């Protein structure tokens, strides 16, 4: 495995950074380079990227506005739409968004970054497609790798001229490999590695993930109705804790209000100490404040720091590390179907909040197809359907499906690929 590689992401939402964090040990500094916000970035480049990021975050939150919000979000989502998959049909024509990106690159976007990295042209591993295109167009001298962050990808993930591109792809599944081929990417440039999941949650020989799953199954199947299905896991220790649900808000801060609805519905269980609820605001201080105000103003102040915990992080590096620690003793993850769908591989059942856009629709469909996730029912009735799922052991089966279908070797496979190129 190489001792050095540049790990490049983008400071936009959480997806690109979450995929990059587990690869940071390959970097000579142990740090990730954000192509849209790094020390010394030219002001012109920074302004370009800030406009895109701010526009995306505003539109994502604006979606909740009745009638007009959905219409405006739909227009934006159309740029990254994922079409129905037909392996025999080629869809090589670049989108308008892709052409605009290349025009910006040819006007100099990213040139400073590549000139800087060319002083030590280690393999460049990017989780952000635009950064890979910049590297190729601006003459990066080392090998270029692009890590796909979702269960399916739009045409934006293939370069302007995919047939002649030298970008190597690291993809989570055969489906994504086939999709890229329909966009014109040469098969020899596509490598099925799996999504790069954090190794601290896996262990050298899966001992960490198996120990966590054994403990989790004890809570998810309280009456032992499905014990014959998971006898291969070592018996969990006797340190009992209440069943723990983690509700994670996305990087744009959308769907924060769902967390307050969950609190209200599960009030009885939280007070009886049969459940713990973690609300992850990520790096959004306004989401943290929203959760705090709700609890203090609706009779839940006494539960804060006990069976209701709010997690806020000063920066994304702290968030990614802290989140990975949190989910080790989480029993159920409730979130929208983002790149977090791959965390089902830890044996972590995922309750999916409503998908926001074409990309999340695809992630939701994939997770449902594996049996590793379920759609949320009416959140105001969480105390009814969720408790029924727990008592019947349904979510224990969901956890097992995730573990058995998951690929936990992404980091190892990407490292091997780079080392042997």
Which tokens sit at 281? 């605001």
- 3-state class (DSSP) for residue 277: strand
pLDDT digit string (tens) for 352-400? 999 988 999 999 999 999 999 999 999 999 999 999 999 999 999 999 9
Q: What is the DSSP letter of 85?
A: P
pLDDT greater than 80 at residue 260: yes
Exposed, middle or buried by CB within 10 Å (0-12, 13-18, 19+), for 277? buried
Q: What is the mean pLDDT of residues 313-322?
A: 97
Range 150-165 average pLDDT: 97
What does the radius of gyration of the chain's CA atoms come to, in whole angstroms? 22
Confidence category of residue 3, pLDDT binned at 50, 70, 90: low
State whether residue 100 is helix, strand or coil: helix
- pLDDT at residue 6 is higher than 70: yes
Express each pLDDT in 200-252 by its tens digit: 999 999 999 999 999 999 999 999 999 888 888 766 666 678 999 999 998 76
Q: If you write DSSP's letter for every residue of 144-161 in order, what string do you get?
A: EEEE--SSS--GGGS-SS
Tokens standing for 76?
Answer: 């934006």
Q: Name the DSSP letter for residue 311.
A: E
Phi then psi for residue 390, to 5 deg, are -70, -50
Tell me the pLDDT band of 408, cut-offs 50, 70 and 90.
Answer: very high
Alpha carbon 370 to chain centroid, angstroms: 17
Q: Which two tokens stand for residue 411?
A: 């980091």
CB 69 within 8 A of CB 357: no
Q: Which of 333, 336, 271 is nearest to 308 (CA)?
A: 271
pTM of the model: 0.93
In tens, the pLDDT along 282-316 reads 999 999 999 999 999 999 999 999 999 999 999 99
Query: What pLDDT is attached to residue 175?
Result: 97
Cβ pair 253, 259 in contact under 8 A:
no
Q: Which two tokens stand for residue 129?
A: 């497609």
Q: pLDDT tens across 56-76, in order?
A: 776 666 666 666 666 666 666
Check whether 253 has a pLDDT greater than 70: no
Tokens of 335: 């979130």
What is the spatial distance between Cα 58 and Cα 330, in angstroms, rounded to a whole number?
Answer: 30
Round the average pLDDT of the chain to a whole number and report it. 93
Contact 346, 209 (CB under 8 A): yes
> Which residues are within 8 A (CB) of 221 and not within 5 positions of it... i.e. 6 or more apart?
227, 393, 396
Query: Which secondary-structure segment (H or E) carries 394?
Result: helix 394-405
The neighbouring-strand residues paired with 191 are: 170
Q: What is the pLDDT of residues 113-154, one digit of tens each?
A: 999 999 999 999 999 999 999 999 999 999 999 999 999 999
Domains of the chain (ranges; CATH) run 6-196 (no CATH), 199-405 (3.40.50.2000)
- Each residue of 324-359: pLDDT tens digit? 999 999 999 999 999 999 999 999 999 999 998 899
Whether residue 372 contacts residue 350, with contact meaning beta carbons closer than 8 Å, is answered with: yes
- The pLDDT, as a whole number, for residue 232 is 82
The confidence score (pLDDT) of residue 299 equals: 96
Question: What is residue 78's predicted lDDT score, i.e. its pLDDT?
Answer: 64
């Amino acid at each position: 495995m190489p001792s050095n590689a540049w790990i490049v992401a983008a400071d936009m939402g959480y997806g690109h950074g979450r995929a990059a964090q587990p690869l940071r040990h390959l970097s000579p500094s142990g740090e990730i380079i954000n192509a849209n916000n790094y020390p010394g970035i030219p002001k012109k480049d920074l302004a370009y990227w800030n406009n895109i990021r701010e526009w995306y975050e505003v539109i994502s939150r604006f979606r909740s506005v009745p009638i007009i919000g959905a219409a405006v979000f739909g227009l934006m989502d159309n740029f990254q739409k994922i079409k129905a998959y037909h392996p025999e049909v080629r869809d090589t024509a670049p989108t308008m968004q892709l052409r605009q990106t290349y025009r910006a690159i040819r006007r100099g976007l990213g040139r400073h970054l590549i000139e800087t990295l060319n002083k030590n042209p280690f393999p460049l591993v990017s989780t952000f497609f635009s950064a890979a295109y910049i590297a190729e167009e601006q003459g990066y001298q080392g090998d270029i790798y692009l890590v796909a962050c979702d269960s399916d990808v739009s045409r934006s993930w293939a370069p302007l001229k995919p047939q002649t591109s030298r970008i190597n792809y690291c993809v989570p599944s055969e489906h994504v490999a086939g999709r890229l081929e329909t966009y014109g990417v040469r098969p020899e440039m596509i490598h099925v590695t799996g999504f790069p999941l954090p190794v601290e949650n896996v262990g050298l020989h899966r001992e960490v993930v198996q120990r966590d799953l054994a403990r989790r199954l004890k809570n998810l199947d309280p009456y032992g109705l499905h014990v014959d299905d998971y006898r291969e896991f070592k018996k969990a220790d006797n340190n009992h804790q209440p069943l723990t649900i983690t509700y994670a808000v996305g990087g744009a801060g959308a769907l924060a209000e769902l967390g307050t609805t969950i609190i209200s519905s599960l009030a009885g269980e939280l007070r009886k100490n049969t459940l713990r609820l973690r609300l992850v605001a990520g790096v959004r201080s306004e989401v943290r404040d929203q959760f705090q105000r709700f609890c203090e103003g609706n009779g839940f102040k006494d539960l804060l720091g006990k069976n209701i915990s709010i997690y806020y992080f000063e920066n994304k590096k702290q968030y990614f590390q802290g989140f990975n620690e949190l989910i080790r003793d989480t029993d159920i993850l409730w979130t929208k179907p983002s790149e977090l769908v791959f965390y089902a591989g830890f044996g972590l059942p995922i309750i999916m909040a409503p998908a926001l856009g074409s990309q999340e629709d695809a992630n939701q469909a994939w997770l449902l197809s594996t049996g590793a996730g379920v759609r949320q029912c009416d959140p105001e009735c969480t105390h009814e359907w969720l408790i029924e799922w727990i008592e019947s052991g349904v979510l224990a089966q969901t956890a097992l499906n995730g573990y058995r279908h998951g690929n936990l070797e992404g980091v190892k496979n990407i490292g091997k690929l780079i080392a042997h190129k």
